[in-house]
Structure 1
Amino acid sequence: MTDQTIETKSRTNHVALPTGTLVLMIDHGPEISELCDFAARANPKRGFLVVSKVLGRHVPARPVHIRATMDAIAATLSADLPQPVVFLGMAETATALGQGVYAAFQARNPSVSSAYLQTSRQQVRGTDPITKFEEGHSHATSHLVQIADPAIIRKVKDARTLVVIDDECSTGNTFVSAVRSMLGVMKELRQIETCCITDWSGGDYLADMPYPARRHSILSGWMEWHASNPAQQSHQLPEGSNGAGIAPPTGMRSRCGLLAPEAADRVHVHCQPGERILVLGDGEHSYEALRIAEEIEAQGGIAAVQSITRTPAMVGHAMRSRSTFTDAYGSGAPTFLYNILAHDPDRVIIAAELVGNQAAEAASAMQELGRNVPVQVVLCQYRDEE
């Protein structure tokens, strides 16, 4: 397998992958290499993966770059949006991004009536989903939207603007599915805003929205995908990829709606100046990993953020290594961690709602790659908003 090839001419990029070729045309934003890389998906539905460098999921990202990305997206949203405004972060990849954009928007516009929701692949006991929808191309297609607090339910029902946040947009079909699924609850909805880091749709999906819609991204353009390897395209997803797990009773409250950004009850993480620490989120639970990384850097440490994920990708190109984990939520879905040594960590910290086999599996993964790095699990627990 050869390394990925990116040729740039007049803002047109060709990305050669084992599963095919991406042709990317940029009409707005920085060079692609500043924001993302690429890999081949182990998924018969879609053979490519846009690998963000500023998200903190598949490749290590510094917390300052992640926060800057969140703030840059929030800055594109008007303070004059019809209120109340509801933000919806997309599981699993964009749950931290969504909450971070919401936090940045609230900080900029404290007087705006707003709430934050996220989709989830984990069920919260005692809470019935207000809606469900499917993401056709994904390895995990089913999204649940759950709300526990009656005050948040009322705000959602009264909301006039819906802001949907994902990490990237290829066709916009997921944005459309999410919005349509919310219509049964959001009877007063009048305005739709979609947000992502990179948008390759050309904006064609906006015509399919039920209400006026605007799109926001740091980079935008068009994408063409030319599949080339039938053997790779026929790769089957592992059984259980779409399995739903169970969220713990003390799990993050963003699964059931927030009126302010959340923070976990957990131990304070100490570090030495200059210590290189990789902080891992676990699936949807990734916003607290960013907060831990910021805590480390405030002490002079050198932190980076990544996450254990369901995303099935092939080793090569942006994915220098792949390690397999057991899903702590009991879904049976296979989970992975890519590029575990790319930050060259002195220590690994896993921010977890549930303590399972993460530490042993992370240590084993690094040993297989020839490194013996200490691993610490930080249990993160959450309380209902008061």
Structure 2
Amino acid sequence: MTAAEQERTGPEPSAGPQEWTGRWVAERAGVALTGSERLPELVGLALRENRKRAHLLVSTVLGKHVPQRPAVVHGAGLELGRRVRELLGPLGGQSLARAVVLGYAETATGLGHSVADGLDAPYLHSTRRPVPGLVPLGGFEEEHSHATSHLLLPADPGLLAGDGPLVLVDDEFSTGTTVLNTIRALHTRHPRAHYVVVALVDLRGAEDRRRLADTAAELGVRLDLVALAGGGVELPADILDRAERLIAEAGAAPEPPAAPAAPAAPLVRVDLAWPDGLPDGGRHGFTPEHRARLEEALPALAEQLAAAVEDGADGRGPAGGGRVLVLGFEELMYAPLRLAGALAERLPGGADRVHSSTTTRSPVLAVDDPGYAIRTRLAFPAHDDPADDSSRERYVYNVAPGADPARRFDTVVLVVDDLADTPALHRGERALLGQLRRVTDRVVLAVLPSHRPAAPAGPLPAPLYGPAFSSYRADEVAWLLKDLSEVALEAPTEEREEAVQSGGAHYAESLPVEYQPSPEYQELFHQALRASARRIALAVGTVAETLLRERGPGLVLASLARAGTPVGVLIRRWLAAGHGVDAPHYAVSIVRGRGIDPVAVRYLDAHHRAADVVFVDGWTGKGAITRELAEALAGTGFDPGLAVLADPGRCVSTFGTRDDFLIPSACLNSTVSGLVSRTVLRADLIGPDDFHGAKHYTELAGADVSGAFLDTVADHFEDVRAEAVAAAGRFGSAEHEAERTPDWAGWAAVERISAEFGIDDVNLVKPGVGETTRVMLRRVPWRVLARRGAGADLDHVRLLAAQRGVPVEEVDDLPYSCVGLIHPRYTRGATGASGTAVLVKES
């Protein structure tokens, strides 16, 4: 088919502000909206600290950052859905009947669901929350987001497999890169003839419009666009400097409101009678049948909320007649929105009294001015993180009244799912519930059951063993991996980096070309091994003795392939030599943004007691994998605690040391890890009942030092055994408990470095000597930050940097020995004849 792009705009229910909430930014930063006169009704402006994109369009009708009447929020989505229906209707009833709607997390989950309501179509939204045992249908990276990885996790894998129109919904359409990436990925797997892109506002430039048409022509599809308003954003050439100056002048975000002398507002918990089996949103799919069940249940659910809000059905309670906010939680936007709408219908005068908004991950500057979109901000610790990482902030905007008492809400109804109803939500001075209780008269907490689809349970594959797979002995490790040795997966480093950063590929879909070290570098490895072998042995022993004390002799080791696997082998050797414990040891894959291998988890659960399994890795950087593991294992019987030799990120409680020192296995790739590649997860290679994949590089056997590394460290075991037992005993005593408590200082340092160097994706900042080494071996390094005075532990880093022409800057106040920065400046360019993205590096 030929490409078609049809932009449809039309009237939108007014959001009702008396003054445009973009005036403050427009006047001071020189930002202007052009095009449709309706744009100021739909969006205001704010600023964020981001050296790539300082301005932020803040929707007034999305129900995210700005509290809005639920009829306006849901109505905007319904209107878009009706316009899509008008577009599809002339194509025939079958086209409309086969349509599926896909929304984007986190901002557009509720909007997409509302569009699906307007079409009465099945709905799915992307998510950043993995589910143990549920294999992603696909995923993508969002380049400029604060949380970049998106997963598609339909309970029914066939949801996106039809040939009817696919309707993709986002809150705004600025460049179209994310949408086009999604279309390309899904079209490869499930080609279809028609795509419809839906957004509240269309702000693309001429080049982005051409790119949409070119993509449609290349794929041979029809590609339409539907929006409520179109136009553009005009920015001055020095917008980043202006924004930086304005942010500095505005000063730091205000502290949370101090605890009042009087008691905090009462907290009322409501156990909503949510229908059994009804999904709480579209994270795993929401069908027309689900929609009918929700519509039937809403009046009774609203009755329960009304009783809590007004202390009885007569409306004479403490909140009678006051303003009510129903506050959702990140991706959980739609259910709170619909509850707010039903509550508005139930309460006297509710159409004007009840508003809806949602918490968010995105940090934005708050300015208490009527002409600015984000007037107040409450920052609070993440409360859905199983790792209990209090350094990960979340935000809620325009809920605290600020200087205008007329904006105050008398009651706040907080709606979360049960996975987010954690101690971090309730306890602590900065906890969200505590802060809400200081800015309102009553807080109502409603907890919905998070929908947990059952993972399909197919046959379990068998593990791989050396020497057929890896150079390790068969008794030292069982690899829960699929052998991809015959598949060509390697790509040049810069090509991989460009594809990953643009969002066109995930890093686990390909492999870097294995770096073959120079003789000079190999000698550095052996020198480092000789110098640090005793220190590594002590760390191994400390971890092994701690695990034995706390978990008992029935330990099952699960190392995170591949860096954790030599560590798992060493811990196993220690336990066997000193205690006669023959601990089973498996190597399993975990992928950032995709979670731990669900089939491997099923295998471990089928063959061992989950409580006996200990996950092992080499070291921590900023703690991304620590979080990934905790999130992936939430709701299972497995302990998500990670055991590592070195914890410079200060994010685990079982470690050998918190010093950032060189573990020589970080110096090399497969030749120190049993000749096994890093793990691979790609939909066309890994099926729902397959382990994640990896390659065995038998051709590198001549350079293999895996056995030498293990033997050299193990030779020191007896020398350090008494010292390791004493260290483990100290960790087990109550007076030293604080030494083991994670404080996530490493993550704070990474965020500071990201801000200092204008990097808006923390995944490009790799702290610690081990992670920096990986950057030099596998990625496109930009620069290395070395702690002033760091010694021989960095000799190999300096050598690699010299070989690759990467500057090494000595800095003060660095909590790590060094930090590697990946080159951040890659953008999507043209598309090759094969459909593979061709990417170019910015100058």
TM-score, normalised with respect to structure 2: 0.38
Alignment correspondent of 1:321: 376
The AA in structure 2 aligned to 1:84 is R
Gaps spanning 5+ residues in structure 1: where?
8-13, 107-113, 236-248
1:204 deviates by: 4.0
Judged with a 3 Å threshold, the aligned counterparts in structure 2 of structure 1 residues 222 and 383 are, in CA distance, closer, same or farther, namely closer
Match of 1:196 among 196, 199, 204: 199
Q: Whole-Å Cα distance in 2 between the matches of residues 347 and 50 of structure 1?
A: 28
Mapped to 1, the partners of 2:451 and 2:176 lie a distance apart of 35
- Deviation, 1:176, is 1.0
Distance in 2 of aligned mates of 1:99 and 1:143 = 17
Q: Are the structure 2 counterparts of residues 344 and 359 from structure 1 closer, same or farther at C-alpha, using a change threshold of 3 Å?
A: farther
For the residues of structure 2 that align with 1:63 and 1:195, how far apart are their CA atoms? Answer: 20
The one of 49, 52, 68 equivalent to 1:45 is: 52
2:492 alignment partner in structure 1: none
Alpha-carbon distance between aligned partners in 2 of 1:155 and 1:145, rounded to the nearest angstrom: 11
| Residues 190-228 of structure 1, C-alpha deviations (whole Å, 9 max, x = no match) | 111111111111434422343321111111012233343
Q: CA deviation at 1:62?
A: 0.2
3-state SS in 2 of match to 1:323: strand
Deviations 1:74-111 (A, max 9, x none): 121124353621211111001011001101111xxxxx
Partner in structure 2 of residue 311 of structure 1:
362
Q: Deviations over 1:291-341 (max 9, x none)?
A: 121122112231101111011111122111111122232175421011113
- Which residue number in structure 1 is paired with residue 99 of structure 2? 85
Shift of 1:40: 0.6
Aligned residues: 347
The answer to whether 1:215 aligns with 2:225 is yes
The structure with the greater share of residues assigned to helix is 2
Are 1:40 and 1:48, in contact at CA under 8 Å, matched by a contact in 2?
Answer: yes
> 1:383, CA displacement in angstroms?
5.7
Q: Distance in 2 between matches of 1:258 and 1:280?
A: 21
Which has the larger displacement, 353-362 or 61-70?
353-362
Letter in 1 for 2:203: W
CA distance in 1, matches of 2:76, 2:166: 20
Q: How does 1:367-382 map to 2 (within 5 A)?
A: 371-381=439-449
Q: Which of 179, 203, 208 is the aligned partner of 1:175?
A: 179
Q: Distance in 2 between the 1:32 and 1:221 partners? A: 8
Instruction: Give the whole-Å Cα distance in 1 for the aligned partners of 2:210 and 2:357.
Output: 32
Deviations 1:139-162 (A, max 9, x none): 22211111112xxx3342123311
**Pairs within 5 Å for 1:89-238:** 89-106=103-120, 114-149=121-156, 153-187=157-191, 189-202=192-205, 203-207=209-213, 208-209=215-216, 210=219, 211-226=221-236, 227-230=238-241
Contact kept? 1:283, 1:307, Cα under 8 Å = yes
Mark the CA change 1:44 to 1:229 in structure 2 (over 3 Å): closer, same or farther: closer
The 3-state SS of whatever aligns with 2:116 is helix
User: Equivalent residue for 1:350?
Assistant: 414
Contact 1:197 1:218 in 2 (8 A): yes
Query: 1:138: how far off?
Result: 1.7
State whether residues 173 and 203 of structure 2, in contact with CA within 8 Å, keep that contact through their aligned partners in structure 1. yes
Structure 1 CA distance for aligned equivalents of residues 421 and 449 of structure 2: 11
Q: Distance in 2 between matches of 1:42 and 1:313?
A: 7
Backbone CA RMSD of aligned residues: 3.0
CA distance in 1, matches of 2:415, 2:72: 19
Partner residue of 2:286? Answer: 258
Q: CA deviation at 1:63?
A: 0.8
Deviation of 1:167 after TM superposition, in Å, equals: 0.8
Structure with max Cα Rg: 2
1:181, CA displacement in angstroms? 2.2
SS at match of 2:73: helix
| Alpha-carbon distance in structure 2 between the residues aligned to 1:22 and 1:222 | 10
Q: Which residue of 2 aligns with 1:245?
A: none
- Cα–Cα, structure 1 residues 118 and 363, in superposed 2: closer, same or farther, change >3 Å? closer
Supply the distance in 2 between the matched residues of 1:253 and 1:296 (Cα, whole angstroms).
18
Structure 2 residues not aligned, in runs of 5+: 1-19, 248-276, 402-406, 454-843
What is the CA distance between 1:284 and its match in structure 2?
0.1
Judging changes above 3 Å, is the alpha-carbon distance between structure 1 residues 205 and 225 closer, same or farther for their aligned structure 2 residues?
A: farther
- Which 10-residue stretch deviates more, 263-272 or 169-178? 263-272
Query: Which amino acid letter does the alignment assign opposite residue 362 of structure 2?
Result: T
Q: Distance in 1 between matches of 2:359 and 2:43?
A: 18
Q: Helix, strand or coil: the match of 1:15? A: helix
Instruction: Tell me, yes or no, if the aligned pair for 1:164 and 1:194 is still in contact at 8 Å.
Output: yes
1:24 aligns with 2:79: no
Q: How many Å separate the matches in 1 of 2:434 and 2:452?
A: 36
Q: CA deviation at 1:232?
A: 5.5
**Aligned partners of 2:78 and 2:287: how far apart in 1?**
18
SS of the aligned residue for 1:254 comes to coil
Q: Classify the secondary structure of the residue corresponding to 1:70.
A: helix
Alpha-carbon spacing, 1:319–1:194, altered in 2? closer, same or farther (3 Å):
same
Q: Distance in 2 between matches of 1:181 and 1:16?
A: 41
Residue type at the aligned position of 2:447? L
In structure 2, distance between residues paired with 1:382 and 1:367: 25
Helix, strand or coil at the partner of 2:40: helix
Cα pair 1:250 1:381 within 8 Å, conserved: no
Q: Distance in 1 between matches of 2:210 and 2:108?
A: 22
The range that moved more, 129-138 or 279-288, is: 129-138
CA contact (8 A) 2:51 2:240 kept: no
Q: Which amino acid aligns with 2:435?
A: A
Alpha-carbon distance between aligned partners in 2 of 1:122 and 1:16, rounded to the nearest angstrom: 40
Residue 253 of structure 2 corresponds to: none
CA distance in 1, matches of 2:99, 2:411: 40
Over 3 Å counting, the alpha-carbon distance change for 1:224 and 1:173 in structure 2 is farther
Q: Would the alpha carbon gap of residues 372 and 255 (structure 1) be closer, same or farther in structure 2, given more than 3 Å must change?
A: closer
Cα pair 2:168 2:197 within 8 Å, conserved: yes
Matched residue SS, 1:335: strand
Question: Structure 2 vs 1, CA of residues 252 and 45 (structure 1 numbering), >3 Å: closer, same or farther?
Answer: farther
Q: Partner letter of residue 375 of structure 2? A: R
Question: Percent identical across equivalent pairs?
Answer: 27
Q: Aligned partners of 2:125, 2:384: CA distance in 1, in Å?
A: 17
Q: Does 1:334 align with 2:399?
A: no
Letter matched to residue 191 of structure 1:
H
The residue number in structure 2 matching 1:242 is: none
CA distance 1:250–1:352, change in 2 (3 Å):
farther
Taking structure 1 as the reference length, the TM-score comes to 0.80
- Note closer, same or farther for the CA distance 1:116–1:4 as it changes in structure 2 (3 Å cut): closer
* CA positional deviation for 1:16: 4.4
Equivalent position of 1:285 in the other structure: 332
